[in-house]
Amino acid sequence: MERIRRRACHGLSPGDLLTGPPPLSPDQARAYGVYFETSPLYHHLNEVVASDSELLEVLNSIENPPRQNMLFAGVQFLLLKDQNHDLAAFYENLGSDPLPVRESGGPFRDFVLSRRGEIAEIGRTKYTQTNEPRRCVALVPALWATGTQEFHLIDFGTSGGLNLGFDRYAYRWGETTWGPKDSRVRLTTEMRGEPVTPHELMVLSRVGLDLNPIDVHVEDDRLWLEALIWPEHHERRERLLAAIDITWSVPTELVAGDALQTLVEVFDALPEGESAVVINSFILNQFGREDRRRLSRIVDEERLRRPVARISMEWLDKEAAGADLCIDVGSGLERIGLAQPHGEWLELYARP
Ligand SMILES: C[S@@+](CC[C@H](N)C(=O)[O-])C[C@H]1O[C@@H](n2cnc3c(N)ncnc32)[C@H](O)[C@@H]1O
């Protein structure tokens, strides 16, 4: 049985929302290296690509942005499926004693040119859908701040749905702990500002909406989520794999399609009068102003039928130190804090 409900998208695809830039010149490709500061391997390979016209051609064959992230994720995805190539020996996550990064250029070139067709296909059909469960260290206090106790959870832009099983993770905010103590996903954050104020939560149902939902029950989907993590980011990878295992056993529904359409249908299917919570995290940067307003209108209209709380964690101002954490229980979005995009720290503001 297919686990994902698919909805017509009226011609909309993730590529339409994530329209990529025109072909990159060597200098433009080189300049992207600043984003790979925390990955010595990708930083080096980015320079290798920028200096090689054939590799640059493969890079420019990738339709979905950001191209470099897609290229490196695509290569890692293929290596995760089959490590039988010299290139695998340079990945920290694929062996215990990786070879020096500076020697990786030749094997990388050989691998990419021999698999260029598959890489272009990945670059056309997959998307950078990182899903970071540690964001739940901010989403859970926001849930408490809404005052909602029993609710249907709707994750708007869910990727692999790893936020949907938030109550199966073990949390620590300073001295405060919450969640099953024996959970394999242990989430801690540096607390700034006000302390968290926990109360019990009861999730009645869990639905994830995405243009292209990633189903953790499908091996290729799991591998793609893993391939999006950079080789040196061991802690993120461990957390992701543990969260995938937990999400695997949580009853959730994934609905494919434009979430502005599917949200209305999902609301319609909920039992009359029961509360709902809609979460959007790290998706609205892919929405124009009018679509953001449309989301607010859909939620407001649903409030005529049931209590709906909204939680928003979005980093729309890249000059800001972190992502704005907001709640809306019917009187508009209220900023309740600021969070590091991967949940490394959380600052909660004092509230009346
Ligand atoms: C960066 S991921 C964030 C995933 C998750 N919310 C998190 O915080 O880890 C953004 C997700 O939004 C999805 N997305 C973008 N536009 C969408 C739309 N119009 N409808 C549904 N999903 C969309 C993408 O496919 C992607 O999986």
Q: Is 129 in the pocket of ligand 1 (CB under 6 A)?
A: yes
| Confidence (pLDDT) at 318 | 84
Q: Taking all residues of the chain, what is their mean pLDDT, rounded to a whole number?
A: 94
For residue range 48-91, list pLDDT tens digits in order. 999 999 999 999 999 999 999 999 999 999 999 999 999 999 99
Q: What are the φ/ψ torsions at residue 39 (nearest 5 degrees)?
A: -135, 95
Spatial CA neighbour of 168 closest among 238, 109, 246, 260: 246
Mean pLDDT of 259-277: 97
For residue range 288-325, list pLDDT tens digits in order. 999 999 999 999 999 999 999 999 999 998 899 999 99
Q: Is 157 in the pocket of ligand 1 (CB under 6 A)?
A: yes
Q: Domain check: are 180 and 113 in the same one?
A: no
Q: Which residues contact 286 (CB under 8 A, 6 or more apart)?
A: 17, 18, 157
Q: Whose CA is nearest to atom 21 of ligand 1?
A: 210
Helix (H) or strand (E) holding 239: helix 234-248
Q: What ligand 1 atom has the least distance to the C-alpha of 280?
A: 6
Q: What are the φ/ψ torsions at residue 100 (nearest 5 degrees)?
A: -60, 135
- Residue that is last in its domain, among 73, 91, 125: 125
For residue range 113-133, list pLDDT tens digits in order. 999 999 999 999 999 999 999
Q: Whose CA is nearest to atom 13 of ligand 1?
A: 157
Q: Domain check: are 205 and 88 in the same one?
A: no
Give distance in angstroms: CA of 96 to centre of ligand 1. 33
For residue range 317-352, list pLDDT tens digits in order. 889 999 999 999 999 999 999 999 999 999 999 988
Q: What is the largest CA-CA distance in the chain?
A: 63
Q: Is 45 in the pocket of ligand 1 (CB under 6 A)?
A: no
Spatial CA neighbour of 69 closest among 230, 295, 253, 288: 230
Q: Whose CA is nearest to atom 19 of ligand 1?
A: 258
Give distance in angstroms: CA of 35 to centre of ligand 1. 21
Q: Domain check: are 318 and 299 in the same one?
A: yes
Q: Domain check: are 156 and 113 in the same one?
A: no
User: Within a 10 A sphere around the Cβ of 37, how many other Cβ atoms?
Assistant: 9
Q: Is 212 in the pocket of ligand 1 (CB under 6 A)?
A: yes
Give distance in angstroms: CA of 158 to centre of ligand 1. 6
For residue range 229-263, list pLDDT tens digits in order. 999 999 999 999 999 999 999 999 999 999 999 99
| Confidence (pLDDT) at 1 | 37
Domain count, the chain: 2
Lowest mean pLDDT among 7-11, 184-188, 343-347: 7-11
Q: Is 189 in the pocket of ligand 1 (CB under 6 A)?
A: no
Q: Is 156 in the pocket of ligand 1 (CB under 6 A)?
A: no
Give distance in angstroms: CA of 246 to centre of ligand 1. 20
- Residue that is last in its domain, among 125, 155, 170: 125
Q: Domain check: are 172 and 235 in the same one?
A: yes
**Domain at 235, CATH number:** 3.40.50
Q: Whose CA is nearest to atom 14 of ligand 1?
A: 157
| Confidence (pLDDT) at 56 | 98
Helix (H) or strand (E) holding 325: strand 323-328
Q: Is 90 in the pocket of ligand 1 (CB under 6 A)?
A: no
Among all chains, which residue has been given the structure tokens 């609905």? Answer: 255
Q: What are the φ/ψ torsions at residue 70 (nearest 5 degrees)?
A: -65, -40
Q: Whose CA is nearest to atom 12 of ligand 1?
A: 157
Mean pLDDT of 197-206: 96
- Residue that is last in its domain, among 100, 125, 150: 125
Question: How crowded is the C-beta side of 176, counted as CA atoms within 13 Å?
Answer: 14
Among all chains, which residue has been given the structure tokens 């900023």? Answer: 335
Give distance in angstroms: CA of 231 to centre of ligand 1. 23
Q: Domain check: are 120 and 137 in the same one?
A: no
Q: Domain check: are 186 and 307 in the same one?
A: yes
112 is a domain residue: yes
User: Within a 10 A sphere around the Cβ of 177, how many other Cβ atoms?
Assistant: 13
User: Within a 10 A sphere around the Cβ of 319, how many other Cβ atoms?
Assistant: 4
63 is a domain residue: yes
What is the best residue among 210, 279, 285, 325 to mutate for testing ligand 1's pocket, by most ligand atoms within 8 Å of CB?
Answer: 210
Q: What domain range is 216 assigned to?
A: 133-348
Q: Domain check: are 97 and 172 in the same one?
A: no
